[in-house]
Amino acid sequence: MNNIQIIDGGVTAAKGFVAGGVYTGVKSERNDLGMIKSEVLAKAAAVFTQSKTAAAPVQVSKEHIADGFAQGILVNSGNANACIGQQGLKDAKTLADLAAKGIDCASNHILVASTGIIGIPLPMDLITKGFQQLPSLLSPSGNDDFAEAMMTTDTFTKQIAVTFKINGKKVTVGGASKGSGMIHPNMATMLGFITTDIAIDGKLLNDALKKSVDHSFNMITVDGDTSTNDTVFVLANGMAENQEVIVEGPELELFQKALTKVCVYLAKAIVRDGEGATKLVTVEIVGAGTFEHAKKAGFAVAASNLVKTAMFGEDPNWGRIMAALGYSGADIREEKIDIFIGGEAVVKKGIGINFDEKRLKEHLKNKEIILSIALNMGDATATVWTCDLSYDYVKINGEYHT
C-alpha cells in the first residue's frame, strides 16, 4: 500500500498528541476514564450512531464538532449516559467543562463519549473526583492507559498506528477502538478515536472519515444489534507541517488509504474480540451487480445466526449460506452462484458439489475462516467481517447487567 508502514503505538503516535487513563471507581479494578489532548486546536470530524435514541454524549459532541474543530476527547466506560433525559445532557456538558478546564481550552472544543450500561445516571461524584489527576497523567506514552479506559466486555485493547510521507514530510495516523458486543453497521456498540498530524482541509477530512468508516466499521457484525453511543472521531492537528492537503490528488488518496488501513484494522479487532467469539469470519462477495447488492449479500451471510453457529460448530453447511443469500434482497440468480469455504469449492452454479468434508472440517478449526461467494452478476465486490456465535455469547449478555 504505497509507503504506508505500521508502527508501534496508538492515539499518541502522531506528533502533538498526549493521552492517558485513570480509575475512578465506575467500574471495578481497571481504568474507566480516558482522555486525548492535542497540543494545538485540531481539525475534527466524526461519524455517529443513527439511533433515534442517541445517548447524551453523542448529542453534545454533535453540537461541539459543528464548527469542525476540537482539542480534546474525554471518554468514560461502565456507564453509557443514555436514556437519562435532561440529566444526561447536563452531565455530558459538565464533563466537557471539566475536561476543558483541565487542558485549558474552550468547552465546545471538547468531545465526549461514553460506553456501558444504559439507563443509569452517571456517578458524577466519582468521575469528577477521579478526573482531577487525569490532566497530569497525559503523556506521549499514555495510549495504553487510554485504550484500556474505554473497555467494557472487551478482552484486549485495540490500537494501531501507521506512517507515510507527503512531499517529504512524515505523517502519522494512530487509532484506538473498543467494541465486543452489540455490533452491527450504522454503526455498532463501538467507539473509535483516530489522531493524525496531517495538515488537511476540514471538508476533505470529513469526507475521508466517512469513506473509511463505510469500508470498515460499517462492514462488521457480531450480533445484529446497534447501540445508542456509537462514535468515531478523528482529530488532525497539522503538526506534521506538510503542505496542507486542500484538493483531491495523490496526497489525499494516500491519506485515505492510510486512514482506511487504520479503520479496517480496528474494525476487524472488534469482530475478533466479539463476545464469546472463537473465530474471525471474513465474508467475501465478488461479482455483484453493484456495491450495495454485494453488501446486502455479505451482511445476510455474516449476520445469519445459522451460519455463525455453523462456524462455531465447524460444520461446512453451505445450505445455510445459500439460504441467507436468498433472503438478502441482493440481485442474485441461484444458477450463477459459486461458494467457497477456505478456498475449497462447495457449490458451483448453485448446486452442491462433492468435497472432502473431513478436510474442510479441519480448515474450520482455524481461528480465521474465509467464506467466498461469487454471484457472477457483475464486477462489484464487498467484504464483511463477522465472528462465530458461541455458548458464551448468551452467558455474557445474560449476566451483563448483574
Residues serving a catalytic function are 189
Asked if residue 326 and residue 260 are part of one domain, the reply reads no
pLDDT at 49: 85
- Where in the sequence is the domain holding 225, given as residue range(s)? 5-272
Last residue of one domain, picked from the residues 272, 305, 321 = 272
Residues 90 and 224 in one domain: yes
- Give the pLDDT score at 276: 66
**Do residues 136 and 224 share a domain?**
yes
Same structural domain for residues 285 and 264?
A: no
**Residue 294 pLDDT > 60, yes or no?**
yes
Q: How far is CA 87 from the centre of its chain?
A: 28
Do 249 and 366 reside in the same domain of the chain? Answer: no
> For 345-371, how does the pLDDT look when each residue is reduced to its tens digit (9 = 90+)?
999 999 999 998 888 888 899 999 999
- Residue 182 pLDDT more than 60? no
Is the pLDDT at 185 greater than 50? The verdict is no
CATH of the domain at 334: 3.10.20.340
Angstrom distance (rounded) from CA 120 to CA 270 = 25
| pLDDT given at position 26 | 87
Give the Cα separation of 97 and 92 in Å (integer).
9
Q: Edge-to-edge, what's the strand order for the sheet holding 380-387? A: 351-352, 344-348, 338-341, 368-374, 280-288, 380-387
- Which pLDDT value is given to residue 156? 85
Residues 219, 263: one domain?
yes
As given in the structure block, the three cell numbers for residue 366 are: 482455524
Q: Are 135 and 74 in a shared domain?
A: yes
Alpha carbons 133 and 124: distance in angstroms, whole number: 15
Out of 216-225, 233-242, 292-301, 376-385, which region has the weakest mean confidence (pLDDT)?
216-225
Tell me, yes or no, whether 40 and 176 share the same domain. yes
Using one digit for the tens of pLDDT, what is the confidence trace for 306-345?
Answer: 999 999 989 899 999 999 999 999 999 999 999 999 989 9
Do 228 and 307 lie in one domain? The reply is no
Backbone dihedral region for residue 215 (phi beyond 0: left; psi -120 to 50: alpha; all else: beta): alpha
pLDDT band at 186 (very low <50, low <70, confident <90, very high): very low
% residues pLDDT > 70 (the chain) = 92
pTM of the complete model: 0.86
How many Cα atoms sit within 13 Å of 191 on the Cβ side? 31
**What pLDDT score was predicted for residue 394?**
66
- pLDDT recorded at residue 179: 75
Instruction: State the Cα–Cα distance between residues 402 and 156, nearest whole angstrom.
Output: 22
User: Same structural domain for residues 201 and 325?
Assistant: no
User: What mean pLDDT, rounded, does the chain reach?
Assistant: 91
Domain boundary among 242, 272, 302: 272
Residue that is last in its domain, among 232, 247, 272: 272
Kindly report the number of other CB atoms within 10 A of residue 317's CB atom: 16
Read off φ and ψ for residue 249, nearest 5 degrees.
165, -170
Query: How many other CB atoms are found less than 10 A from the CB of residue 349?
Result: 12
Q: Give the total number of structural domains in the chain.
A: 2
pLDDT at 35 over 60: yes
- Spell out where 217-359 has E strands: 231-236, 280-288, 338-341, 344-348, 351-352
What mean pLDDT do residues 389-397 have? 67
Q: What is the mean pLDDT of residues 86-100?
A: 97
What is the rounded CA–CA span in Å between residue 345 and residue 252? 39
Q: Give the CATH number of the domain where residue 115 resides.
A: 3.60.70.12
Residue found by looking up cell 453534545 in the block: 60
**267 and 292 belong to one structural domain:** no
Same domain, 29 and 127: yes
pLDDT in tens, 112-153: 999 988 899 999 999 999 999 999 999 999 999 999 999 877
Q: Strand 190-196 vs strand 5-7: parallel, antiparallel, or unpaired?
A: unpaired
Phi, psi of 310 (to 5 degrees): -65, -40
